[in-house]
Amino acid sequence: MRLFGLVMVCALVSAGPAAVPLNAQWIDDPALSATIQKGIDHIYNLEFSDAEKVFADVVRSRPEHPTGHFFQAMIQWVRILSDFNVESHDDRFIQMLDRVIEMCDRRLEKNPRDIVALFFKGGSIGFRGRLRANRGSWLLAAKDGISALPLVRKAYEIEPGNHDVLLGIGIYNYYAAVIPDAYPFVKPVMIFFPTGDRSKGIEQLELASRNARYARAEASYFLMQNHYLYEKNYIRAYELARMLHERYAKNPIFHRYLGRTSVSLGMWPEAERVFGEVAACVQRHQTGYGEHDGREAHYYLGRAAFLRGDLPTARNHYLSSVDLSARIDSREGSGFASLATLALGMIHDLQQERAEAVKYYRKVLNLKKYQNSHVDARRYLVTPYARN
């Protein structure tokens, strides 16, 4: 974990599945360009078969151009994200990225300022680093991130007005400023990297989210995350989540963020509606929706029911969240498990079932400390929970 912050700063410059610059050098066929955008939309909606057909056509049309090959790899990336516990797609993903890197190297041998090659090579190396980071291969991930950064920066120097290229630079500017504060152990290492600029990063991402052709959704996604996690600007985060969910209704990440931001704004009826939809998608095994989505949905559905005084419904949802946490959490547990278990103790106290409440509070103390979970559990072991 010591390298996590550095890897995030470096590897994230590759952005996500829509991080593609727009320039006449890229693919200058308007019809094919529209086809690429259609394929990107399929990727974001987890419509893998449709996306594969689109980008197979792109590869057949322009076999020596990295665009189609890169997006074929992005289909594989979203497959990995849709069930991150499954590692069977990893090797194929790495092979596909390596192929894009080799194609870009051949172009760069002919022209070191080939922006197409610079961007796709930087993006491919960055994505390889992101996978390695998520799998715990920190040294390899850091190496990839450090290799990707100068490629993306060079692309920006060549075309600073390119809004799609602006995505990667905006991400770097933002995280290079934010991550050292969140992970102080990174600060000594960051002296070897360009200084970040938090405000400029937000501004660049806003420009990309409005004006980029292919990277618009990905820029909006990073903006949403940044406003939610670091800026605490929940209104803007909610606006972005709603926009992304309306456009990509089958994407569970955007779906859950709409629920989260609704919670942060105290919009509990909407939050309950949204997380009810998420739970239903999990129940019917919709593509991309899994146990992690269900665990979060049941936690917030339990919280909504608890706040309105429907204790039996709250208890059922919290129990579902705890059960799912037991299946998917690592040994140290998770915040959802801790808070849902604490809430179950509180419900039993309200129902005058003190012995059961005590059992749950003691369980909390054996779970990961999250927010005030341990402090509250100890307090309620002494004094039963009661509503104010």
Position 233 in a domain: no
Phi and psi, residue 334, nearest 5°: -150, 165
Question: What's the number of domains the chain is made of?
Answer: 2
Position 284 in a domain: yes
254 and 244 in contact (C-beta within 8 Å)?
yes
Residue 363's Cα: distance from chain center in Å?
30
173 and 200 in contact (C-beta within 8 Å)?
yes
Q: Is residue 172 located within the same domain as residue 268?
A: no
3-state secondary structure 14-58: HCCCCCCCCCCCCCCCHHHHHHHHHHHHHHHCCCHHHHHHHHHHH
d(CA 281, CA 318): 18
Range of the domain at 126: 4-210
Residue finishing a domain among 210, 232, 265? 210
Residue finishing a domain among 185, 210, 235? 210
d(CA 43, CA 100): 18
| pTM of the predicted protein model | 0.89
pLDDT tens column, 184-207:
777 777 776 788 899 999 999 999
> Which pLDDT belongs to residue 14?
45
Burial classification of residue 249, based on how many CB atoms lie within 10 Å of its CB (0-12 exposed, 13-18 middle, 19 or more buried): exposed
**Is the Cα dihedral 223, 225, 226, 227 positive or negative?**
positive
Position 153 in a domain: yes
Q: Is residue 162 located within the same domain as residue 58?
A: yes
Q: Is residue 65 located within the same domain as residue 170?
A: yes
> Which pLDDT belongs to residue 268?
98
Q: Is residue 297 located within the same domain as residue 154?
A: no
Q: Is residue 132 located within the same domain as residue 31?
A: yes
Q: Is residue 263 located within the same domain as residue 198?
A: no
Q: Is residue 269 located within the same domain as residue 195?
A: no
Cβ-count burial 116-131 (b if 16+ within 10 Å, e if not): bbbbbbbbbbbbbbbb
Residue 67's alpha-carbon distances to 19, 99, 128, in angstroms, are 11, 12, 17
Position 45 in a domain: yes
224 and 203 in contact (C-beta within 8 Å)?
no
Residue finishing a domain among 158, 175, 210? 210
Position 273 in a domain: yes
CATH number at residue 369: 1.25.40.10
Tens of pLDDT, residue by residue, the chain (388 residues): 333 444 444 444 444 443 333 343 467 788 998 999 999 999 999 999 999 999 999 999 999 999 999 999 999 999 898 877 788 899 999 999 999 999 999 999 999 999 889 988 988 998 898 898 888 887 888 788 788 888 888 988 998 888 888 888 898 899 888 888 877 777 777 776 788 899 999 999 999 999 987 788 989 999 999 999 999 999 999 999 999 999 999 999 999 999 999 999 999 999 999 999 999 999 999 999 999 999 999 999 999 999 999 999 999 999 999 999 999 887 767 999 999 999 999 999 999 999 999 999 999 999 999 999 999 999 999 999 998 7
> Which pLDDT belongs to residue 10?
47
CATH number at residue 80: 1.25.40
Q: Is residue 328 located within the same domain as residue 205?
A: no
Q: Is residue 183 located within the same domain as residue 282?
A: no
d(CA 11, CA 191): 17
